[in-house]
Amino acid sequence: MQHEAHAHHDHTGHEGHAGHEGHAEHGSHADHGAHTDHSAHAGHHHAPGTVSWSMAAKATLHCLTGCAIGEILGMIIGTALGWGNLSTMILAIILAFFFGYALTLRGILSAGVDFRTAFKVALAADTLSIAVMELIDNGVIALWPGAMDAHLDEPLFWIVLAIALAAAFVITTPVNKWMIGRGKGHAVVHQYHH
């Protein structure tokens, strides 16, 4: 009997302890943490003007990585096969889109989303971003004197490519910032990372 009373007192004291109440409340919040975070995160992205430049830059860098891989691989394949400038550029653009989407798909699929849904999300998230990036990137290369005819073993090729990718990054970042602020672009992807 005395033991029961002790157990009851111990339990009551534990419940009434202010620190424990805070902890219990925090535990309850943690149970719904993923949902709450998602709501707050989504709300943050839907409100225009609340997206940080670093967030937009990170999304742009993600796209740029895929684009750069595709561009360089396209140039290498086109050059190795002896293709003309236009054919090589078209291949580079196709591969840039492919690798851009592939990097996004990898992240979404790892969150356990089915391929069809993941593919739709990747299209929605990256299409405009990659399109703007490719337009700037290839525009710089096409307009730069001698760049189209430069070979992979020439410094001019790599210098112009680096400048083109940097220009694409600078111009595409505000586009991504605007899209994320409207709940589009990489805002769509972020919900699958929580």
Condensed to tens digits (0 to 9), the pLDDT of residues 24-58 reads: 444 444 444 444 344 333 334 444 447 788 888 88
Per the model's pLDDT, the better-predicted residue between 143 and 186 turns out to be 143
pLDDT at 112: 83
The residue ranges of every structural domain in the chain are 48-193
48 SS3 class: coil
Residue 11 pLDDT more than 70? Answer: no
Q: Over the stretch 79-122, which tens digit does the pLDDT of each residue have?
A: 889 899 899 999 999 999 999 999 888 888 887 888 888 888 88
60: confidence class by pLDDT, cuts 50, 70, 90: confident
Percent of the chain with pLDDT strictly greater than 70: 69
Instruction: Give which of 194, 183, 181, 166 is closest to 60, Cα–Cα.
Output: 166
pLDDT at 192: 57
Q: Which two tokens stand for residue 171?
A: 């111009």
Angle between the N-to-C axes of helices 115-143 and 53-80, in degrees from 0 to 180, rounded to the nearest 10? 70
